[in-house]
Every structure is written in C-alpha cells, then in structure tokens.
Amino acid sequence: MTDSRHALIIANDRYTDQGLKKLRAPAQDAAALEKVLHDPQIGDFEVQVVHNASADVMRRRIQGFFNDRRRADTLLLHFSCHGLKSESGELYFAASDTEPPLLAATAVPSQFVRSCMSVTRAGRSVLFLDCCYGGAFSRGSSSVRASGDVNVLESFAKDEPVSGRGWAVITASDSMEYAFEGSRLADDSSAPQPSVFTHAVVDGLETGEADLDADGKVSLDDLYEYVYRQVQEQNPHQTPKKAADLHGELHLAHSRRGRIKIVADDSPPKLQNALKSDDVLTRQGAVLELQKRLQHTELPVAEGARQHLEEVARNDIQQIAVMASDALGKIRLAPSPDHLDFGLVPKGSAPRKQSVTMHGPPLARHCVAQPKESWLRVDPTGSGLEVHVDTAAEGRLSGDIVLKGVADESVIHVDAEVAPAHEPGRTEPEPGPAHDSTTPPHEADGKRQTVVIGPPGAPPRPEQPPVSATRAPRTDRRAPSLAGAALALAVAAIGTLVLAMQRAVVAIVERGEEGVHGTIEDNVREYGALTPLIVCLVTGAAALVAGAVARHDLETRQEHYTRQAASSTQTLTSVAKGLAIPALALAVLAGIAYLVGSPHW
C-alpha cells in the first residue's frame, strides 16, 4: 500500500460526572486496535491514541488530525466512548469532563467531526463509532428518558467532502439503547456492550478472517460484513450500520490468510457417475481420469478434479483411496530452493534478488506468496518468484515467505545480514540488480504485500526436474571452504618437507659411509628423498593459490558471506600463507642445493 495512512483513536472510559457510567472496554480496545492498525504486516497505519481527554483537547486533536493532509492520505478516526443526544436531537461524543446538562460546552458535537471530515484534503476518511448512546436531557428535569432514537448515520451523511475522494462511517449501533434516570445511566442487561464491536474489528483484521473474498486484502466492505455477523451473533440487540460514498474499493489492511480460491468446474456427468459405481475397476478408471484432469492447464478444471479426488481419498476403499491420495500429492507446493541466504549485504545498497522455482502441474504452481516481514519483497516470474531484500536497516534479518495454494501451504525461509556500507577491511561490492521501471508501486515502499504466483490462464510450463537436482548451492561457504583447503595443503607441505629432510639426512649419512665408491644420486634415490620434496613444492604452491582465490572471492562477493564467515576465511588464509611460504622457500633451497652439489658428491 503506497498511500500515507493515519489513524486517531479516541477512547474515554472515565468521566468526572457521576451520571456517565464508567466503561470497561475502551482502554483495552484502544490498545488492541492501535496494535493491529500499526502492524506493518496488517494495517500499516501511523496511529495516535487520545485517552480520557477533555472536550477541548478532543476538538484540538480531531481538527489537527484532519488538517494539512494530501489527496494520497487515508484517515481513520475511531471513537470509543459514550454518545449522548441533546434535547434538540443532536449527537455528542462524551469527553472526560462532559457535563450532560451542558453538552454544547463540554462535549464534542457530531457536527464538528462532520465538518472536519468535509473540509479535509485527505483522499479518504473513515469513521468508526463504538459508542454507548445515552438518552436526551431536558432542561429543568433531573430524570428524563430518551425522547426518541437518533439516526447516527444521518449525522454524518449530510455533507460530502470538499476535495477528498470519499468517506465512510461504520457505527456499532444506530439507536438510543441507554437511558438516564436521575444522575445515573440505567443498567440494562439487554443493552449492547461497546467492546463487542471493536473486538470484532480487531479480531477480523488480526486473524485475516475479515478477508471474506480471500484476495489477501481486507476491504471496507469485507470488514463491515464480518463485523456485522460477529456482532449479531454475540448480541442480537446490536446492529452495526454503514454509510459510504467512495470511488473505488478501499483496502484497510492486508490479510494474514490470503489464499487461492478457484471456482471449480464440475467434472463430466459420466465421470461423476463412474465415481459412484459399485464396480471397483470402474471407480479406478474414474480416478485415473481425474489424475489427468488434475494436470489440466485450465485451473477450474483441475480444481474440480482435485475436489473429487479429495472426496474419494476420504470415502472410498483403501485401494482406491490410496490412488487418489497419491494423485493429490503431486499438486503439493514444491518451491526450490526453500531456503535463501543473501549473506552480508551493505546497508543502503540496491536490493539483492534470488529466484525460487515452483514445480509441479499448473494447479501446484498457482499460489499466494505472503512475506511475513516488511523487508521482504516478492515478484512473480515465469517459473516461480523472485525474492528481494530491503537494505535500509542494519542487523541480522531472518524471516519467512508463506506460500498458500489451493490444497496446502509451504514456507521459504530467508536470511540476510545488513552491515554498514563502509566497514573497515571490506570493499564495496558491485551493486545488485535494481528495480526497473515496471516495478509495482508496492515494491518501492518496502511494505508487506501479497503476490499471486502463476495466475489463471498462464501457459503451461514443462515439468521441472526434482527439487534436489536444481537446489541452489550455498555460495556463502565457497571462500571458507577454499581457505580451509589452503590451510590443509600448507600443513601437508610442511609435513612432506619434514619427511624429505629426514630422508635427505639419512641419504647424506649413507653417502659419507660409502667413501669414494658412492654417489649422492644413488643414496637420495634409494631413500626416496626427492618425492616428498616435489610434493612439498606442489602442495605449498596450491595452498597459496587456494588462499588467494578465497581472498579474491571474499573481496569481490562479500555480500554472500556473513561476518563470521569472512573473519574465519581471513584467519585461515593468513595461517595457510604463513606455513606455505616458509615450506616453499626451504623446499626450493633444498632442491637447488641438491642440483648444485650432487655432481661433486
């Protein structure tokens, strides 16, 4: 979501006037609503909370909330408090210092809120009213009941916004269900509890249950329908109402439960009759036909086959049920790889990207990808998806991308470490691929999004090889492995040098005992001193080469390595170099001494 999103929650549960009953729910509801609206994976609103404020503070905060907005802004104002009706029938919102006989002076009139909504330049304004509506007050009367219902929606639907694109009001109830007697608000066991409405809003957004059309987003209509059902189930006396004048659909939140939903095509009647046949072979033939339809490029056809196969797997005899289960196993989500490690990434660098391939028939490749972290971004590709990592914030990053298909779920785990851009001892790597001009707006803002992989109607792709055959290598192990090999080779060079020296000493001693009748070549050859010397030269040189390659790989591809891997690589290569160079020097000197001195021995 690219628009700027702001929310103001006004919650009043304590009142100085004894006639206004203390409410139990607003404080808890405000905290829960703030959490779910502020969550970047759900509402992604910038949230302000005003708790038990005076009428003057409420008016200032409300007007300030609607002032100085842009057309791209979406505003949400939530009231959780007492709603009071004046003798003239006007609706007021009770502040902590409200005096019921002096509503115009000590409460916030609905006309004031409506006026602020009407003049704001924000593109869309949404108002939630979770209020206990009290009765009207008459002058000179200490005990007056409600003089009639107040239509809450009519209090806000009179004026259209001046420059915005639309407005909406959802209220917990639209009737005066509480009455004042004397200075106390009358208790009524049938009266609605204010927490029912806000609890339904929070629950619907937090769980994703309010995403009624399963498109990965919770629209205003989705949320209202969900809240209406929940409130009616818990309290039939309370009926939420909605009024709106919006151009286009307003998405209030992302859904945690975004999933694929395909309207299935019915299988041919002959095939359905075969599934009900008393003949086992006939039913087996029907299952084989469903397996073929399960591979169909038209997803509704494949989905219809899947649903029939699930029914067979549950209800038929074991032999046929196993056939159906095996067929269903072929459409399970199979991402490859299922773990991505971006290694060390400089802060502020262009987003890195890695690809994931989806395997299986079209129905198995068709899924919803939902990053669970705001720094993860996903793009659909022809064969699966492409994962990007945002490098705006430093630190160790670890998160999941949840894939949800028609039949099951899968998870791709992603790791990365964002380090300072200019860390000592490291050079800046080549920037990774940047987003091109076709990058969707939601990619640029770093917010969580829902991406559909393999949309309906996509051309079929050839069957992919098994997951294990295409799993990407763990590139962050290359330099440490080379460094380890360099150290092993250097140790081998030292060992073979020592062995060569031992044999050379024995050969020299033997030559000295033979007197004028012997030659050094014969003694060296007899004790095999040259072979370990040659091996020392080869392994020492190989150790230096492996160490140099490891350091070069570390410097040119540092984004692939964690800090620990880089440190261990540097340590291993330094030790290997310290062992290999002396071994090579001594081996070369020994070789020169043998070549120069052997003719004279």
Q: What is the mean pLDDT of residues 104-128?
A: 91
Q: What is the pLDDT of residues 463-485, one digit of tens each?
A: 333 333 333 334 457 778 888 88
pLDDT at 153 over 80: no
pLDDT at 264 over 70: yes
Confidence of residue 500 (pLDDT cuts 50, 70, 90): confident
Q: Lowest mean pLDDT of 151-155, 445-449, 533-537, name the range.
A: 445-449
Domain range 269-329, CATH architecture: Alpha Horseshoe (1.25)
Q: What is the pLDDT of residues 339-361, one digit of tens each?
A: 999 888 888 887 778 899 988 88
Rounded Cα distance between 382 and 411, Å, is 20
> Going by DSSP bridges, is the β-strand pair 73-85/4-11 parallel, antiparallel, or unpaired?
parallel
Average pLDDT, the chain: 77
Cross-strand bridge partners of residue 219:
251
Q: Lowest mean pLDDT of 158-167, 238-247, 443-452, 584-593, name the range.
A: 443-452
Rounded Cα distance between 331 and 406, Å, is 9
Judge contact between 40 and 393, C-beta under 8 A. no
Judge contact between 166 and 249, C-beta under 8 A. no
Name the token pair of 159: 């004026």
Q: Residue 430 contacts by C-beta under 8 Å, 6 or more apart in sequence?
A: 556
Q: What is the pLDDT of residues 386-445, one digit of tens each?
A: 888 888 878 888 888 888 887 778 889 999 888 887 544 444 444 444 333 333 433 334
Q: Lowest mean pLDDT of 64-68, 163-167, 414-418, name the range.
A: 163-167
Q: What is the pLDDT of residues 189-226, one digit of tens each?
A: 444 344 788 889 998 888 788 887 766 788 999 999 99
DSSP H stretches of helix in 174-279: 194-207, 220-234, 269-275
Cross-strand bridge partners of residue 451:
369
Of 182-186, 247-251, 429-433, 597-601, highest mean pLDDT:
247-251
AA letter at 175 = S
Tell me, what's the pLDDT at 217? 83
Q: What is the pLDDT of residues 39-58, one digit of tens each?
A: 887 888 999 999 999 999 99
pLDDT at 62 over 50: yes
Kindly report the CA angle at 38 between 33 and 43, in degrees rounded to 5?
85
Show me where the domains of the chain are located. 4-191+240-251, 269-329, 335-472, 477-600
Confidence of residue 28 (pLDDT cuts 50, 70, 90): confident
Tell me, what's the pLDDT at 172? 82
Name the token pair of 14: 């304590």
pLDDT at 365 over 70: yes
Tell me, what's the pLDDT at 436? 39
Q: What is the mean pLDDT of residues 93-112?
A: 92
pTM of the model: 0.46
Rounded Cα distance between 108 and 12, Å, is 12
pLDDT at 587 over 70: yes
Closest CA to 202 of 46, 368, 25, 53: 25
Please state, for a pLDDT cut of 70, what percent of the chain lies above it.
Answer: 74
For residue 463, the 8-state DSSP code is P
Farthest CA pair distance, the chain: 141
Tell me, what's the pLDDT at 245? 84
Q: Do the domains 4-191+240-251 and 335-472 sit in the same CATH topology, yes or no? A: no
Confidence of residue 518 (pLDDT cuts 50, 70, 90): low
Confidence of residue 3 (pLDDT cuts 50, 70, 90): low
The CA-atom distances, in angstroms, between 321 and each of 283, 303, 327 are 10, 18, 10
Q: What is the pLDDT of residues 274-293, one digit of tens each?
A: 988 999 899 989 999 998 99
Q: What is the mean pLDDT of residues 480-505?
A: 85
Tell me, what's the pLDDT at 513? 64
Closest CA to 310 of 319, 302, 321: 321
Tell me, what's the pLDDT at 82? 86
* Annotation: CATH topology of 335-472: Immunoglobulin-like (2.60.40)
Q: Quote the strand ranges of 420-511, DSSP E.
A: 451-453
> Going by DSSP bridges, is the β-strand pair 376-380/384-389 parallel, antiparallel, or unpaired?
antiparallel
What DSSP assignment string belongs to 327-388? HHHTTS--EE-SEEEEEEEETTPPPEEEEEEE-SSHHHH-EEEEESSTTEEEEE-SSEEEEE
pLDDT at 162 over 50: no
* N- to C-terminal Cα separation, the chain: 87
Q: Between 597 and 330, name the one with better pLDDT.
A: 330
The CA-atom distances, in angstroms, between 374 and each of 97, 390, 446 are 41, 8, 6
pLDDT at 78 over 90: yes
Rounded Cα distance between 476 and 560, Å, is 5
Domain 4-191+240-251 has CATH 3.40.50.1460: yes
Q: What is the mean pLDDT of residues 1-18?
A: 85
